[in-house]
Structure 1
Amino acid sequence: MKLLIKLIALVSTLSLVFVSHAQRVKDLADVAGVRSNQLVGYGLVVGLPGTGEQSPFTEQSFKTMLSNFGITMPTNLKPKIKNVAAVAVHAELPAFTKPGQTIDITVSSMGSAQSLRGGTLLQTILMGIDGNAYAVAQGSLVVSGLGAEGLDGSKIVVNTPTVGRIANGAIVEREVKSPFAMGDHITFNLRNPDFTTAKNLEKAINTEFANPSDPNTFIARAIDATSVQVSAPRDANQRVTFLSMLENIEFEPDSPSAKVIVNSRTGTIVIGADVRLLPAAVTHGGITVTINENPEVTQPDAFAEGETVVTNQSVIDVNQNDNRMFVFNPGITLDALVRAINNVGAGPGDVMAILEALQQAGALRGELVII
Structure 2
Amino acid sequence: MLSKTTRRPFAFRSGIRRACALALAALLLVPATLPAPALAASARIKDVVEVEGVRANMLIGYGLVVGLNGTGDSLNNSPFTEQSLTGMLERMGVNIRGANLRTKNVAAVMVTATLPAYAAQGTHIDVTVGAMGDAKSLLGGTLLVTPLLGADGEVYAVAQGPIAVSGFAASGQGASVTRGVPTAGRIASGAVVEREIQFSLAELPVIRLSLRNPDFTTAQRVAAAINTQLRGQLAQATDPSSVLLRVPDGRRGDVVRLMTEIEQLRITPDQIARVVVDEKSGVIVMGENVRISTVAIAQGNLTIRITETPQVSQPGPFSDGQTAVVPRTDIQVDDQSNNRLAVMPSGVTLQELVQSLNALGVGPRDMIAILQSIKAAGALQADIEVI
Q: What are the Cα deviations for residues 228-268 of structure 1, in whole angstroms up to 9, with x where unaligned? A: 001126997322333223223x2422432222222223222
Match for residue 45 of structure 2? 25
Match for residue 154 of structure 2? 132
> 2:347 is matched with which residue: 331, 336, 361?
331
Counterpart secondary structure, 2:113: strand
**Deviation of residue 65 (structure 1)?**
0.9
Q: Within 5 A, what are the aligned runs for 1:171-250?
A: 171-178=192-199, 180-181=201-202, 183-210=204-231, 218-232=233-247, 237-248=253-264, 250=265
Tell me, in whole angstroms, the C-alpha distance in 2 between the residues paired with 1:133 and 1:335.
Answer: 54
State the TM-score, normalizing by the size of structure 2: 0.81
Q: Does 1:69 align with 2:92?
A: yes
> 1:59 is matched with which residue: 82, 86, 89?
82
Q: Does 1:43 align with 2:92?
A: no
Tell me, in whole angstroms, the C-alpha distance in 2 between the residues paired with 1:360 and 1:311.
Answer: 50
Match for residue 13 of structure 1? none
- Judging changes above 3 Å, is the alpha-carbon distance between structure 1 residues 237 and 182 closer, same or farther for their aligned structure 2 residues? closer
Q: Does 1:278 align with 2:287?
A: no
Q: What are the Cα deviations for residues 153-176 of structure 1, in whole angstroms up to 9, with x where unaligned? A: x32221111110011100010111
> 2:306 is matched with which residue: 287, 291, 310?
291
Tell me, in whole angstroms, the C-alpha distance in 2 between the residues paired with 1:285 and 1:134.
Answer: 61
Aligned residue type for 1:188: L
Tell me, in whole angstroms, the C-alpha distance in 2 between the residues paired with 1:149 and 1:182.
Answer: 61
Aligned residue type for 1:195: F
Bigger CA drift: 227-236 or 346-355?
227-236
Match for residue 16 of structure 2? none
Tell me, in whole angstroms, the C-alpha distance in 2 between the residues paired with 1:144 and 1:352.
Answer: 38
**Deviation of residue 186 (structure 1)?**
0.3
Match for residue 34 of structure 1? 54
**Deviation of residue 296 (structure 1)?**
7.3
Tell me, in whole angstroms, the C-alpha distance in 2 between the residues paired with 1:128 and 1:88.
Answer: 14
Tell me, in whole angstroms, the C-alpha distance in 2 between the residues paired with 1:105 and 1:361.
Answer: 51
Counterpart secondary structure, 2:64: strand
> Contact 1:200 / 1:251 at 8 angstroms: preserved in 2?
no
> Contact 2:217 / 2:270 at 8 angstroms: preserved in 1?
no
**Deviation of residue 318 (structure 1)?**
2.3
Tell me, in whole angstroms, the C-alpha distance in 2 between the residues paired with 1:125 and 1:254.
Answer: 42
**Deviation of residue 297 (structure 1)?**
7.8
**Deviation of residue 64 (structure 1)?**
0.8
> Contact 1:33 / 1:179 at 8 angstroms: preserved in 2?
no
Aligned residue type for 2:159: A
* Greater C-alpha radius of gyration: 2
> 2:136 is matched with which residue: 111, 114, 120?
114
Match for residue 27 of structure 2? none
**Deviation of residue 309 (structure 1)?**
8.1
Q: Does 1:351 align with 2:372?
A: no
Structure 2, unaligned runs of 5 or more:
1-37, 316-320
User: Pairwise CA RMSD of aligned residues?
Assistant: 2.7
Q: What are the Cα deviations for residues 45-102 of structure 1, in whole angstroms up to 9, with x where unaligned? A: 0001111112211111111110010100131x22112111000000000010011111
Aligned residue type for 1:145: G
Tell me, in whole angstroms, the C-alpha distance in 1 between the residues paired with 2:45 and 2:58.
Answer: 26
Count of aligned positions: 345
The sequence identity of aligned pairs, in percent, is 44
Q: Does 1:263 align with 2:285?
A: no
Structure 1, unaligned runs of 5 or more:
1-15, 212-217, 301-305
> Contact 2:374 / 2:380 at 8 angstroms: preserved in 1?
yes
Bigger CA drift: 343-352 or 226-235?
226-235
- Judging changes above 3 Å, is the alpha-carbon distance between structure 1 residues 74 and 202 closer, same or farther for their aligned structure 2 residues? closer
Aligned residue type for 1:43: G
Aligned residue type for 1:86: A
- Judging changes above 3 Å, is the alpha-carbon distance between structure 1 residues 17 and 259 closer, same or farther for their aligned structure 2 residues? farther
**Deviation of residue 313 (structure 1)?**
6.0
Aligned residue type for 1:134: Y
- Judging changes above 3 Å, is the alpha-carbon distance between structure 1 residues 74 and 90 closer, same or farther for their aligned structure 2 residues? same
Tell me, in whole angstroms, the C-alpha distance in 2 between the residues paired with 1:170 and 1:183.
Answer: 31
State the TM-score, normalizing by the size of structure 1: 0.85
Q: Does 1:159 align with 2:159?
A: no
Tell me, in whole angstroms, the C-alpha distance in 1 between the residues paired with 2:345 and 2:53.
Answer: 49
> Contact 1:286 / 1:323 at 8 angstroms: preserved in 2?
no
> Contact 1:145 / 1:161 at 8 angstroms: preserved in 2?
yes
- Judging changes above 3 Å, is the alpha-carbon distance between structure 1 residues 95 and 312 closer, same or farther for their aligned structure 2 residues? same
Q: Within 5 A, what are the aligned runs for 1:89-108?
A: 89-108=111-130
> Contact 2:339 / 2:360 at 8 angstroms: preserved in 1?
no
Q: What are the Cα deviations for residues 5-62 of structure 1, in whole angstroms up to 9, with x where unaligned? A: xxxxxxxxxxx9521x3x3321211001111000000000000111111221111111
Aligned residue type for 1:101: T
Tell me, in whole angstroms, the C-alpha distance in 1 between the residues paired with 2:162 and 2:273.
Answer: 49
Bigger CA drift: 30-39 or 261-270?
261-270
**Deviation of residue 287 (structure 1)?**
1.1
